[in-house]
């Protein structure tokens, strides 16, 4: 049975053939690259390796093979360089803009760096798309734009005040997206990612996301930390869902010109305690000694929201998006990937 992405590509007449993926060596960007190359697309990728890794590109190359890899052209460069963005986006059908400095804690420590990469860099991408008459730009937004809103589930037209510099940068991206669509007649689509996880996500460093960090620690037989009481909840989303959303947003033919934002999530709420138990169970297939391992509880982190749950009604209705994996099986796939690398 063909994969959902294969069916998506086959269902679209005159599908784009030339894509630009920014942040292509990153976690989500490299998974998008893999899917595009597997579906015989031509891809230009740009990355400065600030958070991406050459090993991610090597991993993709090994998975897709030399023939598909020949359809990929890589530019090592920074989206904060306007000339690089202009050059990379020439003769491109669609831009999938994933490059960013992620992490709420990182943005609190260094708001200037987050603003430069996430706001100035995104503005360069939008400007280049306009100059080169790119038909569509799909860009990574974030659930952080919901800020202090306590409404659950999160619905696209009900946002709150940002709680971190990172959230401000993503809200600014959406404002620029709307203005560019209105002023220049462009089509821009913002995808509000909710806690995306999966293979190739970086488990190291002070700003590592919780799932790869815990998997890596448990595979090493080390203790995991939970910030707060463990009852904080998130809507965890496997990376193949983010890939699916990008492809659907890029290929949806009957979208009118304008600016759109969609939640990308699974519409399932999971506490950190529940998540820890799922990861521990999955890792215990490789290390039986961690079956009874308990986490260490630490103080809550500044800028974190307490609960997050997305409505996916809008993206399901307009883009025909549906989550592709349940959390338990997605965690097991992720653990299997990390375990293979850990050996």
Q: Which residues are catalytic?
A: 166
Q: Which residues are CB-contacts of 43 (< 8 A; sequence separation ≥ 6)?
A: 18, 19, 20, 21, 24, 33, 36, 37, 71, 72, 73
What are the respective helix, strand and coil percentages of the chain, to the nearest 5?
Answer: 45, 15, 40
How many whole angstroms separate alpha carbon 211 and alpha carbon 198?
8
**CA-CA-CA-CA dihedral for 22, 35, 11, 245, to nearest 10:** -60
Q: How many CB atoms lie within 10 A of CB 292?
A: 7
Residue 101 has which token pair? 């400095």
**CA-CA-CA-CA dihedral for 232, 237, 238, 243, to nearest 10:** -150
User: Do the beta carbons of residue 143 and residue 194 sit within 8 Å?
Assistant: yes
E strands, the chain, are: 18-22, 42-47, 72-76, 94-97, 136-142, 187-193, 196-197, 225-227, 233-234, 237-238, 258-264, 270-271, 296-298
Residue 244 has which token pair? 């699916």
């Amino acid at each position: 049975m063909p994969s959902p992405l294969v069916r998506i590509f086959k269902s679209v007449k005159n599908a784009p053939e030339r894509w630009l993926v920014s942040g292509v060596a990153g976690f989500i960007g490299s998974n998008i690259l893999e899917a595009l190359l597997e579906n015989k697309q031509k891809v230009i990728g740009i990355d400065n390796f600030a958070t991406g890794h050459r090993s991610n590109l090597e991993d993709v190359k090994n998975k897709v093979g030399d023939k598909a890899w020949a359809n990929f052209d890589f530019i090592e460069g920074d989206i904060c360089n306007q000339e690089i963005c202009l050059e990379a986006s020439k003769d491109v059908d669609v831009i999938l803009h994933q490059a960013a400095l992620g992490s709420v804690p990182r943005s609190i420590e260094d708001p200037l760096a987050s603003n430069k990469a996430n706001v100035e860099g995104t503005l360069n991408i939008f400007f280049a798309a306009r100059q080169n008459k790119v038909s569509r730009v799909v860009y990574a937004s974030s659930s952080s734009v919901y800020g202090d809103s306590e409404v659950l589930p999160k619905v696209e037209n009900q946002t709150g005040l940002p709680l971190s510099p990172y959230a401000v940068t993503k809200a600014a991206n959406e404002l620029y997206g709307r203005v560019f669509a209105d002023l220049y007649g462009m089509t821009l689509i913002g995808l509000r990612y909710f806690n995306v996880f999966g293979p190739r996500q970086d488990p190291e460093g002070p700003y590592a996301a919780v799932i790869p960090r815990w998997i890596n620690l448990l595979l090493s037989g080390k203790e995991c930390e939970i910030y707060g009481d463990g009852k904080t909840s998130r809507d965890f989303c496997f990376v193949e869902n983010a890939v699916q959303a990008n492809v659907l947003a890029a290929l949806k033919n009957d979208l009118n010109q304008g600016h759109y934002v969609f939640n990308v999530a699974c519409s399932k709420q999971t506490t950190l305690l529940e998540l820890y138990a799922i990861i521990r169970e999955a890792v215990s297939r490789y290390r039986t000694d961690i079956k009874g391992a308990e986490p260490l509880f630490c103080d809550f982190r500044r800028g974190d929201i307490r609960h997050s749950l997305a409505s996916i009604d809008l993206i399901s209705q307009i883009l025909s998006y549906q989550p592709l994996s349940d959390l338990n099986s997605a965690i097991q796939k992720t653990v299997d990937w990390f375990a293979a690398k850990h050996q």
